[in-house]
Structure 1
Amino acid sequence: MTDSIDLNNLPNPDNILTYQEFVSDVHINKINVKRLLLEAVIAPIDVSKYLSKDHQINIVLTHEFKDYIVNDTNTFTASGLVKVRAKINKDTIFIIEVELIAEYDTTQIEKEITNNVYEAFIENNVPVNLWPYAREAIQSGSTKMGYPPLTIKPYRLII
């Protein structure tokens, strides 16, 4: 025996929001720093001792944009974490981590927002929204620790 589906309780496709509709109707309320870590492992004055013709500073950059929380107030928040580690060979010079939170307003959206739409937005739009703030935090953070300003490239969405 197979389970029957109640056709009366299926979602109305006209009431389901598309990703394109969502993107055009959602608005950023605010973007805040949740956490900022600046750690000078090797003092800037001592970095020259590690440098030679054969050694250069390598930058290891990682990022993660995946979490979101839907709130009761027609808003949702999304977060992103960007980490930078500057190294010479195996020696870490400095570490910068910035975690950002964006709050988005969905009051203009009347249709149902599915998890697929939220997940597509987190993957495609949140990095573009948060990346400039992460870039600024990394550049100013490196100078505040006494190192030259570290400028990371703009975020590019590969389609």
Structure 2
Amino acid sequence: MPKPRKISQSQYETLAAFRFALRQFLRFSEQAAQGAGLTPQQHQAMLAIKGFPGRARVTVGELAERLQIAHHSTVGLVDRLTAEKLVTREPSKEDRRQVFVSLTKRGERLLEGLSSVHQEELRRIGPELRELLEEMTGGEGDS
């Protein structure tokens, strides 16, 4: 394992500021989800489904991986989203053990509204995040 590099006080401050800015964004996201009647995890699941590369549906296993939660927890989350008519389940035609999850029209509308306010917030805080990230990765303040 390589020897850790010496971290300067300014690097600690930049790292702390970056983490604080990320946490503020996550708190904004949590509150936006709750304001829309969702839990933050439900919002994350819907975004993971809609944003899955190359297709508009995911397996429960893929969703679990994207959310970094256990398969059985994902099943419960999908159950709750299904009860709210935000997602639908469809068994795979090739492998009956797999179940695909996709957003309903209602889920799409709700996610679009949330994604719009998230984009606005990112436009607002983006310059600060970009500056902090550049300070952390651009070599500024290295010893």
TM-score range, shorter chain: under 0.3
More strand by share: 1
Q: Is the radius of gyration larger for structure 1 or structure 2?
A: 1
Structure that is richer in helix per residue? 2
Q: TM-score, normalised by structure 1?
A: 0.25
